[in-house]
Amino acid sequence: MMCLEAGRLLDAFVDNELSPAEAAEVRGHLASCVACSRIVADRESLGRLLRQLPYYRAPDALRARIADARARPRFNVGLFTWAAVLALAVSLGATLAIARFARSGAIGATTDAVADAVVGDHVRALREARLFDVQSSDQHTVKPWFLGKLDFSPPVDDLSSIGFPLVGGRLDRVRGQFVATLVYQRRRHPISLYIWPVADGAVADAVRSVRGFQVRHWTRNGMSFWAVSDLNDAELSEFVRGLQP
């Protein structure tokens, strides 16, 4: 079982909703996968916290109002039909105007959301001292490590010649998607390079600062790249240039 397949079953596994055969398969995967085991541990910890929260019964007056609302007819069928027709006509009329602005707005919002997510993951890796699942400066060691853990093969470049040595890699999840993260270093400053295949709704290239961290995004050969570091703007830009043709 690959991490991508296991990831779709982890929530059901934690909630004991899998068949015995599926649960056994997930347990077998967890025995050899540190990244997925951490995800399960996080889910179980969250579940324990939720079960410790106090339970408050709704007041009798509120329960009576809800029961009364359920007993009353909710709408007139004929009136509802005409309202639905009118809403559909308005919606179709507005679609063309909305479409002119939707793409640029959605790309900007998505870029902000992904930038915030990768910075959050980078900070979490630093705080938990979990920069690596595999620690090596050899690209021929790091690249094969991802085989069987992802449904794509991330490119792994050696940038030691320009002062950014590869130091390892790890498996991460960004907004619910399994991604490859390569870790480079400049003096004592780690750089997390997140990589995943470009999707149909791929975000635009980005140069920004989030919570004091420099963030860069670009695409190359069907892959989306996000670099995050506390390096200064000039040095991170030099790192990015080393990865672009």
Q: Which tops the pLDDT comparison, 183 or 49? A: 183
Q: Which tops the pLDDT comparison, 183 or 19? A: 183
pLDDT recorded at residue 88: 58
Q: What is the DSSP letter of 79?
A: H
Under the banding of pLDDT at 50, 70 and 90, the label for residue 79 is low
Quote the tokens at residue 84.
């639905």
Q: What is the tens place of the pLDDT at every residue in 94-135?
A: 444 434 433 434 444 477 888 899 999 999 999 988 899 999
For the cut 60, the answer to whether the pLDDT of residue 24 exceeds it is yes
Q: What is the tens place of the pLDDT at every residue in 182-196?
A: 999 999 899 999 999
For the cut 60, the answer to whether the pLDDT of residue 78 exceeds it is no
Q: Which tops the pLDDT comparison, 2 or 175? A: 175
Tokens 């750089």 correspond to what residue?
A: 191
Of 3-7, 30-34, 61-65, the range with the highest mean pLDDT is 30-34
Phi-psi region of 4 (alpha: psi -120 to 50; beta: other; left: phi over 0): alpha
**158-185 average pLDDT score:** 94
> Worst-scoring range by mean pLDDT, 21-25, 136-140, 233-237, 238-242?
21-25
pLDDT recorded at residue 195: 95
Residue 114 in contact with residue 121, Cβ under 8 Å?
no
Q: What is the DSSP letter of 147?
A: B
pLDDT recorded at residue 166: 96
pLDDT recorded at residue 65: 81
Domains of the chain with CATH codes: 1-71 (1.10.10), 112-243 (3.30.200.100)
**155-163 average pLDDT score:** 94
For the cut 90, the answer to whether the pLDDT of residue 240 exceeds it is yes
pLDDT recorded at residue 86: 56
**166-184 average pLDDT score:** 93
Q: Output the CA torsion sign for 80, 85, 91, 93.
A: negative
For the cut 80, the answer to whether the pLDDT of residue 69 exceeds it is no
Percentage of the chain modeled with pLDDT above 90: 38
Residue 189 in contact with residue 227, Cβ under 8 Å?
no
**195-206 average pLDDT score:** 72
Average pLDDT, the chain: 81
Radius of gyration of the chain (CA): 24
For the cut 70, the answer to whether the pLDDT of residue 90 exceeds it is no
